[in-house]
Amino acid sequence: MATTYRIAVLAGDGIGPEITAVALDVLRAIAPRFDLEFDFVPALVGGCAIDAVGEPLPAATLETCRQSDAVLLAAIGGTQWDTLPRHLRPETGLLALRSGLGLFANLRPAKVFPQLIHASSLKPQVIAGVDLMVVRELTGGIYFGQPRGIFTTETGEQRGVNTMAYTATEIDRIGRVAFETARKRQGKLCSVDKANVLEVCQLWRDRLTALSAEYPDVELSHLYVDNAAMQLVRAPQQFDTIVTSNLFGDILSDIAAMLTGSIGMLPSASLGESGPGLFEPVHGSAPDIAGQNKANPLAMVLSAAMMLRYGLNQPAAAQAIEEAITAVLDQGYRTGDLMSEGCTLVGCREMGNLLIKELSQ
């Protein structure tokens, strides 16, 4: 008897529909081998939702996601929506989706594939063997803190305000996810803050240090965010698992992304305490290449693999997809963002077909 999973599919904007089609084909191809069945339920989010119903996260979409076993999201946004009021922009829909699903932990792996080591702008000896995970707090910090806004002072001058705030409970729960993640990896956790300047970060450091007593098998270290950014570029092999706040994680995970040579190779998972997780590529909607069969679908396919591993507890199926990607890269096939001398250029659909061929063998 096959195990059936209901998957909410949010293809979104730009290259989203193209890369989603590839990921769903790969999941359909892998399903029989592992006795799985998928019920894919499409829903609107982001710019396409704004165009269709006038808001970036329709209530029906959130309900579809809540009733699913996992949520697979491609990409949202585009310049045509940039002039809308903030509450109507595509990005607001994504923030509301994370909040509505109670997703507080974002896991972003950054792994250097040996076949792509020359795609990075850094020297091969600097990035060889890099395999790190950034655990980012997702629903607190400066992106959600109150008060926020642009106000007029008593003297008539405009003043912009955002508030960076964390409770001990919020810090502890992301800390536990990070310690558990490090425990499954190499047992090293680096907490990144700015405790020398920000009180909220002093509390962050205090709580992580207190939590470490519960995880004697995990080695905890601390770095200030400016030094962490420098070390990620200078000597990234030193890192295993990094845990940090929403704002710092947003920046550091993109730095980590470029170690790999292409943001088009990076998946992510967002998890809550219960309910479905959200699985999405790190890259954006790339409207400049949308509809041209140029997009790299591998981050989306790797996000589907993360869904299998972290959301559906199907690690063998996840590994089969990851091995298929490695095999296709070994054969020298590359999308434009990964292209290098001696390799064969393929489009989005062709890359998907190559993966399916590999999975069928």
Catalytic residues: 143, 194, 226, 250, 254
205 in a labelled binding site: no
Q: Is 240 part of any known ligand binding site?
A: no
88 is known to lie in a ligand binding site: yes
Q: What angle do CA 13, 18, 22 make, to 5 degrees?
A: 135
SS3 assignment, position 331 = coil
Task: Give residue 346's identity as a one-letter amino acid code.
Answer: V
Residue 185, annotated ligand binder?
Answer: no
Q: Reduced to 3 states, what is the DSSP secondary structure of residue 72?
A: strand
Nearest to 13 by CA among 258, 208, 288: 288
Q: Is 25 annotated as a binding residue?
A: no
**Does 51 count as an annotated binding residue?**
no
Pairs from 81-86 (Cβ < 8 Å, separation ≥ 24): 81/47, 81/50, 84/50
146 is in an annotated binding site: no
- Say whether 83 counts as a known binding-site residue: yes
CB 247 within 8 A of CB 212: no
80 assigned binding-site residue: yes
Known binding residue 78? Answer is yes
296 is in an annotated binding site: yes
Confirm or deny that 33 is annotated as ligand binding.
Answer: no
What burial class does residue 2 get, using C-beta atoms within 10 Å of its C-beta: 0-12 exposed, 13-18 middle, 19+ buried?
Answer: exposed
197 phi, psi to nearest 5 deg: -130, -35
Tell whether residue 291 is among the known ligand binding residues. Answer: yes
108 is in an annotated binding site: yes
Backbone angles phi, psi at 189, to 5 degrees: -125, 125
Decide if 256 contacts 131 (C-beta within 8 A): no
Check: CB of residue 301 under 8 Å from CB of residue 22.
yes
Structure tokens at 118: 């020359």
Which neighbouring-strand residues pair with 125? none
Binding residues for Mg(2+): 226, 250, 254
Annotated binding site for NAD(+): 78-91, 284-296
Binding residue ranges: 78-91, 98, 108, 136, 226, 250, 254, 284-296
Which residues fall in the annotated binding site for substrate?
98, 108, 136, 226
